Copies of this chain bind each other. A is one copy, B any other.
């Protein structure tokens, strides 16, 4: 089936770009001590998890207990829930799953340790934890150094199975590489390593040191002592993260239909914020010069045309790049895999 016959708005992935992204990332890690643990939250597609594991990933990262449940159900061997969880029912699920798979949870507070330990006693099984360290993003995470050591000791004392450290440098992911940015990435990695040394001095082994993302994988993935990288966006590669130095190509787009042409230079397409996130900025048009997306309403997109493109008419298609894949994939239940203009596969997006 030609992809232009899909009902619109349709979420498309270019399979050739996807395979290229997959193998470029895998090639980088083949020769490194650090390994890749891709983030499931970005694509939420199980066949893409399989591809990532087959290409050398050591397991998956995820952001929610629901995502962890999907990965557990599909026997992903090792799962890092790179987020803090405080709800008892969710902690109980995680504890039970840890009997079947290697699953780890982030903690960054005494309250988090107390909650996990209390559930562990009830469930008769202690969860695996990594301590989340703030390496500059100022979101979650305990301060590196003495505060981290204190929290690790509290986790061990509470009977949790301490596995290592994570620190996400999300504030650096969308910056173009530069000596200054790379230095900040290395400084973040070093603060994790420094904390690891302090913890090991206390006789507590640190198996995992996880950091990085699609924008910084090659800097922190090459940093001595970092054991894994939690990059997610590289496969679908939204235009938000693309920069001139990125080896990854955007592979995700939205097919839309022109439903109205209220003036020679204006089109309305059947795609608004319910199908395409503009939370991090508006998308650009793919494959046609002279068209500009001006606004997204709930179900409509407003496109302006330069003179050369006003020959488009209602019923014609316009394809848009996805600017923010995380929030856009989340709006769909299917992703159509396209190659040579044909729909080759339909991926189910798990919710």
Report whether A299 and B64 are in contact in the complex, using a CB–CB cutoff of 8 Å.
yes
Please choose the segment from A20-28, A138-146, A189-197, A242-250 that sits at the chain B interface, where 4 or more of its residues have CB less than 8 A away: A138-146
A333 at the interface (CB under 8 A from B): yes
A260 at the interface (CB under 8 A from B): yes
Q: Mark A135-155, 1 if CB is under 8 A from B, else 0.
A: 000111110000000000000
**Residue from A85, A90, A261, A262 having most chain B Cβ neighbours under 10 A:** A262
Report whether B314 and A111 are in contact in the complex, using a CB–CB cutoff of 8 Å.
yes
Contacts of A262 in B (CB 8 A): 108, 134, 138-142
A89 at the interface (CB under 8 A from B): yes
Contacts of A111 in B (CB 8 A): 261, 313-315
A259 at the interface (CB under 8 A from B): yes
Contacts of A314 in B (CB 8 A): 84, 86, 109, 111-112, 115
Contacts of A261 in B (CB 8 A): 109, 111
Q: How far is the CA of A297 from the CA of B333 in the complex (A)?
A: 21
Q: How far is the CA of A170 from the CA of B86 in the complex (A)?
A: 41
A298 at the interface (CB under 8 A from B): yes
Contacting residue for A351 out of B108, B109, B138, B333, CB 8 A: B333
**Residue from A84, A108, A142, A313 having most chain B Cβ neighbours under 10 A:** A84
A279 at the interface (CB under 8 A from B): yes
**Quick one: closest B residue to A263, CB to CB?**
B138
**A86 smallest CB distance to B (angstroms):** 4
Contacts of A87 in B (CB 8 A): 7-8, 257, 315
Contacting residue for A300 out of B108, B140, B270, B302, CB 8 A: B140
Known: A41-B299, A140-B300, A314-B86. A277 touches B268 (CB 8 A): no
Q: Mark A36-77, 1 if CB is under 8 A from B, else 0.
A: 000001000000000000000000000110000000000000
Contacts of A268 in B (CB 8 A): 84, 139-140
Q: Mark A218-245, 1 if CB is under 8 A from B, else 0.
A: 0000000000000000000000000000
Contact residues, A301-315 vs B (CB, 8 A): 302, 313-315
Contact residues, A77-130 vs B (CB, 8 A): 83-87, 89-90, 108-109, 111-112, 115
Contacting residue for A315 out of B86, B142, B331, CB 8 A: B86
Q: Mark A314-337, 1 if CB is under 8 A from B, else 0.
A: 110000000000110011010000
Q: Mark A261-287, 1 if CB is under 8 A from B, else 0.
A: 110001010100110011100000000
Closest 5 CB pairs of A and B: A84-B259, A140-B260, A111-B314, A86-B315, A298-B326
Residues in A lying within 8 Å of B, measured CB to CB: 7-8, 41, 63-64, 83-87, 89-90, 108-109, 111-112, 115, 132, 134, 138-142, 170, 257-262, 266, 268, 270, 273-274, 277-279, 296-300, 302, 313-315, 326-327, 330-331, 333, 351
Give 29 A-B contacts (CB < 8 Å), ordered by A residue.
A7-B87, A7-B90, A63-B298, A63-B299, A64-B299, A83-B259, A83-B270, A84-B259, A86-B259, A87-B257, A109-B314, A111-B313, A132-B260, A134-B262, A139-B260, A139-B297, A139-B300, A139-B302, A140-B259, A140-B260, A140-B268, A273-B279, A273-B327, A278-B279, A279-B279, A279-B296, A298-B327, A331-B331, A333-B351
